[in-house]
Chains A and B, each alone.
Chain A
Amino acid sequence: MTLRKILLVDDEADIRLVAEISLSSLGGWQVIQAASGPEALDLASRELPDLVLLDVMMPGMDGPTTLLRLRGLAGGEATPVIFMTAKVQRAEIDRLLSLGVRGLIPKPFDPMTLPREILRILGA
């Protein structure tokens, strides 16, 4: 799998900006952004990203629900997903990892090492 296009989903615009700079200027990837679950599903079905970075706590449709819907989309069944979350309790992390994602990046993350961390998780 070649990683070119990343869908970044987070309701916090500031966090999206920081992650976008890191992913595009350090990782060299194309970044498309969504501020909510429905927006993410719309973008995912049209853009077919190679990876989804998915926030967990979002108003309206949360990360796990968005993930579930994504799996129901044509072309979204196998898209690698990495959760990004400020929920760091172990039980919570275990639950999230059991939902069929490639990994989890806790917030706050270090933008200087974020691309490396993503590649590590994807095993590339």
Chain B
Amino acid sequence: MKLAPIPRDEAQRLAALRRYELLDTPPETVYDDLTRLAAHVCETPIALISLVDAERQWFKSCFGPFPAETDRSCSFCGHAVFAGKLLMVPDATRDDRFVDNPLVTGELEIRFYASTPLVSYDGYALGTLCVMDRRPRELSPQQIEMLSALGRLAMSQMELRLRITEQARIEKQLAESAELRRAILDSANYSIISCRPDGVIRAMNAAAVRWLGYRSEDVVGKKTPEIFHDHCELEQRAAALTTELGRPVAAGFAALVAKVCLGITEEREWSYLTAAGRHFPVQLSTTSLCNTAGEITGFLFIASDITERKQVELAKSEFVSVVSHELRTPLTSIRGSLGLIEGGAVGEVPPKMVRLVEIARANTDRLVRLINDILDLAKIESGKLELQMHPLDPAALVAEAVAEIKGMADQVHVHLGWSSDPSWTGHSPRLLGDHDRLLQVLINLLSNAIKVSPPEGVIETRVEAAGATSIRISVRDQGPGIPPHELSRLFGKFHQIDSSDARSRSGTGLGLAISKAIVDEHRGTIGIETEEGKGSTFWFEIPLPPDEWAPAAANDAR
């Protein structure tokens, strides 16, 4: 017996066969009808739909007396699959490929065999539609044609079956993935709302429904997220956006997405308004969804409830405020009593006591400054610095600071000088800032400079243009300078330069941290240039509003 050769791409062929998931499945009427038709057309007692597996041939349909499967070694179809085209064996006893085949020599006594291969869409012969007879014979050309046509029908049935199976699998996967997505969305402790480009709500997750108190069928497809917002807040935001973007923004849905329409993801605090009219604070992150062409296909609003965080912030700020007040009350008595004694208001102080009273009073003052600074820092850290921005003349600010600190400088014989940019003839640019806070920064830098200055030292304060779009204010001292290893911690909290000089220890160690926070709030930068033994220059730069830019920069911007 001659074994059928194995096709060269057998592994891929078998993979293709497995893809159809037909092997060992129950009979199906459509295939049985096809074999019945084939047998009838070809006038044979046997017709099979045979699938050639690795070690066997298995029959999806079997018309006539034949086993359910046979070993591949004795299969006719193995040869047909290798040939990949119509195979006809008129008399197996006269064909040395099949003469000793058990199907021929055994009780089945097969003599005639004809088959058309079942070729998958990607070109693999998976098996055959074959007909067999116990007597030698041939098929007429019409019968061959019909057998081929039935074979193609069988194959297209298999393809159809595959498509349906795949479709069902995809649908199942889609359903599972939708279910998973839904579960994730609904278990998330975020309100998630998606909208169409026109703002109409597409979907809301469980948290959104729960928090906002609307039934989703009342809002999905009907409303925009505008209904979840306080109208006053929308108006304020719209007004701010109108100014910022230089075009009118309506106080509705547009105010929620004006920024993200420009491709920026926006993260802001908002109030959400429930169906029952209750407000609660949220951190709302807004994203625009885009297709590959860059067109906006929708918006996503993800909000977390920050009620608790807000309460903690409030409690913290109230705590600091109460502590500050409670500390101040006994300090008022102490400071007052010491002041009256030191000032001689209650009789002359014995000479031996003068210095001690002064120490007590000075340290009380220091304690008060420390409380003020801690209060400031607490405000900065809770984001409650709330700058009051007004146009300011930077030169006037410097003059005011220098005048205010002059008493302290005079006491230790330090000289203060200041100058403004020589190119500002008569009119200096106006920066937009908080007068009291910027004065606080300047006073802090000046008092630090005084503390490190040698007697008769000079402190030079300059206010000048830094490029065309910023103002730079610098304070240069003739102190010892700052060693490099101190620089990185300089603007940190409770940082003080090691020094044996009592004057430099009268501060709180918070001044530069507060100054940096104030400058940061002005979107400015603060820094230092220093050389040990030669002194330091502390400086800060505050950006100018665009209408105060120097002409060159303004032209560049246009």
Contacts and interface: CB of A to CB of B under 8 A. Distances in A.
**Binding partners A and B:** yes
A109 to B, nearest CB: 7
Contacts of A123: none
Given A18-B337, A89-B321, A107 B345 contact: no
Find the residue from B321, B332, B333, B335 having the highest chain A CB count within 10 A. Answer: B332
A22 B342 CA distance: 12
A109 B336 contact: yes
B364 A108 contact: yes
Given A88-B324, A111-B339, A111-B340, A15 B329 contact: yes
Interface in A45-101: 57, 86-91
B236 interface: no
Contact of A111 (B324, B345, B386): B345
Contact of B368 (A89, A108, A112): A108
Contacts of B333: 12, 14-15, 18
Interface string B353-389: 0000000000010001000100100010000001000
A21 B325 contact: no
Contact of A22 (B324, B340, B386): B340
A108 B324 contact: no
Interface in B318-358: 321, 324-325, 328-329, 331-337, 339-340, 342-343, 345-346
A21 B341 CA distance: 11
Contact of A112 (B324, B328, B339): B339
B340 A21 contact: yes
Contacts, number: 70
B340 A86 contact: no
A25 B321 CA distance: 34
A76 to B, nearest CB: 26
Contacts of B331: 107-108
A15 B329 CA distance: 8
Interface residues of A, number: 22
Interface residues of B, number: 25
Interface in B34-79: none
Interface string A94-124: 0000000000000111111000000000000
A47 to B, nearest CB: 24
A19 B436 CA distance: 28
Contacts of B337: 14, 18
Contacts of A15: 329, 332-333, 336
Given A57-B325, A108-B368, A86 B345 contact: no
B314 to A, nearest CB: 14
A112 B365 CA distance: 14
A7 B13 CA distance: 107
A26 to B, nearest CB: 6
Contacts of B372: 88
Given A109-B336, A111-B340, A21 B345 contact: yes
Interface in B375-407: 375, 379, 386
B379 A107 contact: no
A86 B346 contact: no
Contacts of B436: 90
A26 B345 contact: yes
Interface string A5-44: 0000000101100110110011000000000000000000
A18 B325 CA distance: 18
A110 B335 contact: yes
B325 A87 contact: yes
A111 B340 CA distance: 6
A5 B335 CA distance: 25
Contacts of B321: 87, 89
Contacts of A18: 332-333, 336-337, 339-340
B328 A108 contact: yes
A91 B343 CA distance: 33
Interface of A: 12, 14-15, 18-19, 21-22, 25-26, 57, 86-91, 107-112
5 contacts: A15-B336, A25-B345, A89-B375, A90-B386, A112-B345
